[in-house]
Amino acid sequence: MTIAKSDISRIDKDKMWDYLIRFPVHWQEAVEFSRNVDWALDSKKIRNICMAGMGGSAIGADLMAAYSINQCEIPVQINRSYDIPHWVGPETLFIACSFSGNTEETLSALDQAINKGAQIVAITSGGKLLIEASREGYGYVKIPGGMPPRAALAYSFVPLFRLFDFLGYTDENEGALLETLTMLREQISLFSDLGGNQALTIARELQDTLPIIYTGTGLMEPVGIRWKSQFQENSKILSFNNTIPEMNHNEIVGWEQIAHLTGRLSVIMLEDEGDHEKVKQRMRIARELIEDMTVYTTWLKTSGESRLTRQFSLVQIGDWVSYYLAILNEVDPTPIAKTELLKSRLAEL
C-alpha cells in the first residue's frame, strides 16, 4: 500500500501527523520557556533523585536518567507505582512528571514523598499537580497541554535537561539542545516525504509482524522503550524490547522454539557509538543467530555529535515508523480506547 495525503486525512482523524511535524517547534519552545526556571531547591541537600511518572509522562524521565548516567554523581530511579521506595526522604529530590497533572499513581507517590520530607519539583500541564505545586511553593514547570502525553515529549524532557544541568549532573548544555533542534528539523523534512523515506520503508517491512527492539544499556535503553510504547499506542500492536547483554543470557534461548511464529517476528536493533565494545560485538553475534528466524531485521545507528542529539536521532525515527505503520494498518494513531476503558472501570470501583 502506498500512502497519500488523502490516506492521512481519512485515517488520522485526530491529527497525530501535526504533532509529529511540530516536534522541532515543541523542542524550540521548551528550550525557551525552560531557560530561566526558578527551581526553588537546596541542591546541597540532594543525595538521590526519584522521578515518578507513568506512560507518556514518564518517557522523558527515562531518557534523562539514561542520558545522565555517566555524569550524574548520585543515584537516579524512575518510579512507576502508587508507592515510593523506602529510601526516599529529606535528601531526595522527588520529580513528579504528569502531563495531565491528575495521574493517580504519580499523585499517590507525591503525597508519600511530601510526607517523608523530600524536595519536590513538578513537570505538568495542569490538574491537581499544578495546583498543589503552586500552592505549596514547589519548583515546577507548566508545560503546554491539549495533546496526547506521548506527543509532548519535547515539553516533558527539555525541562528535565535544564534541571539536571542546573544541578551540575550533565556535561552538555545549551549547545547540545540547539544541535538536537537542528537535527530534528532536518529529520522532519525527510520523514514527512510520502514519496519515500527510511521510516516509511521500515514501517512497510514491519507490517503484519510483531516488532522486537534490542538495544544496549545506558543511552539507548529508553529509546527502545519509546519505540515499543509508540508501536503499542500509535500502531495498536504488541511490541517488546530488551537490552544486550541481558538478552544474551536468557531471551536468545527462547528463539529456539518459534516455528509457530514463522513469518511473524521482526527485529530492530538500535546502536550508539558510545555502547560498550563488547555490547556491539554481542549485538552482531545475536543478529547472526536469530536473523534466519525473522521475517525482517534492521539495524539503526545514532547520528550527531552530542549524546543528546544521538539519543533523539533514533527517538524521532521510531515515532514516525509507528505512525506510518498505523496508517498502513488503517488505524487512527491517537485514540487509546483500552486505556480509557480501563480508567473508566477503575472509576466505577
Residue 330 CA neighbour count, 13 Å, CB half = 4
Residue type, 310: R
Asked if 77 contacts 49 with a C-beta cutoff of 8 angstroms, the reply is: yes
Angle at 235 between CA 233 and CA 237, to 5 degrees: 85
- Which of 45, 301, 338, 343 is an active site residue? 343
- Look up residue 173 and give its three cell numbers: 548544555
Check if 142 is active-site.
no
- Look up residue 171 and give its three cell numbers: 556535561
Burial class (CB in 10 A: 0-12, 13-18, 19+), 45: exposed
- Which of 105, 132, 221, 233 is an active site residue? 233
Contacts of 265 (CB under 8 A, 6+ apart): 209, 210, 212, 258, 293, 294, 295
Residue 343 neighbours by CB distance under 10 Å: 11
Residue 238 neighbours by CB distance under 10 Å: 11
* C-alpha span between 54 and 76 (Å, rounded): 16
- Which of 5, 44, 86, 249 is an active site residue? 249
Counts of helices then strands in the chain (DSSP H, E)? 13, 9
Check if 249 is active-site.
yes
Hey, which residues are catalytic here?
Answer: 233, 249, 343
